[in-house]
A and B are shown apart, each in its own frame.
Chain A
């Protein structure tokens, strides 16, 4: 399954809303996770089951969607949220596949 994220880069001002998209080449049901990766750090799990926040993840992060279309929304961007975000499907495997990433940068 090919995962395609858009946009490649998203320029957002602090305090604004960010909306990231992830599309699967075929249905993955709700078996979709989102990760955040900051420079020089390992990825961190944000969302699983398309919409469930992982432990310790702030409520400003929310996920939605099912089937082939998914969205990660950051309601009010904080300085620590500027990073690269990846989606990953775990419905049809192997392989487990990631999107190519969306970089959220400061506008």
Chain B
């Protein structure tokens, strides 16, 4: 069974940093593109970033470029999102998701980790 478990969320002040992690199991992690999707409270889904199997390609939504960095460790079956210079508008539930194939849809999702940016 595919499992994705996010961690690392919490309350952070504006301008602060946070590192999210996603632990994957039940599939061959290194075979898949992986993605972060976020959902602000009471709002819809927003794709944030994704990364190719070997980490050689990464893409970001414009609003986080230069502030967020996606990475992965295939030996540890883990996905990460380093978030710097956080803003109030980054407040959201952050989901880790598996892409069926590169440039595709998201066929498995974690339960999310909540990031709150507030003073």
Task: Point out the residues of chain A lying under 8 angstroms from B47, CB to CB.
Answer: 94-98
Contact A45 B111 (CB under 8 A): no
Task: Report the count of interface residues on A (CB-CB < 8 A).
Answer: 22
Contact B100 A48 (CB under 8 A): yes
Task: Report the count of interface residues on B (CB-CB < 8 A).
Answer: 23
Contact B104 A94 (CB under 8 A): no
8 A Cβ contacts from A1-60 to B: 33, 35, 37, 41-45, 48, 54
Q: Is B44 at the interface (CB under 8 A from chain A)? A: yes
Interface of A is mostly: loop
Q: Is B59 at the interface (CB under 8 A from chain A)? A: yes
Q: How far is the CA of A43 from the CA of B46 in the complex (A)?
A: 12
Residue of A nearest to B47 (CB): A96
Interface-central residue, A33, A86, A96, A98, by most chain B CB under 10 Å = A96
Q: Is A88 at the interface (CB under 8 A from chain B)? A: yes
Write the B39-68 contact mask toward A (1 if CB under 8 angstroms, else 0): 000001111001000000001111000000
Q: Smallest CB–CB gap between A74 and chain B, Å?
A: 19
3 smallest beta-carbon distances between A and B, as pairs: A33-B105, A42-B109, A94-B59
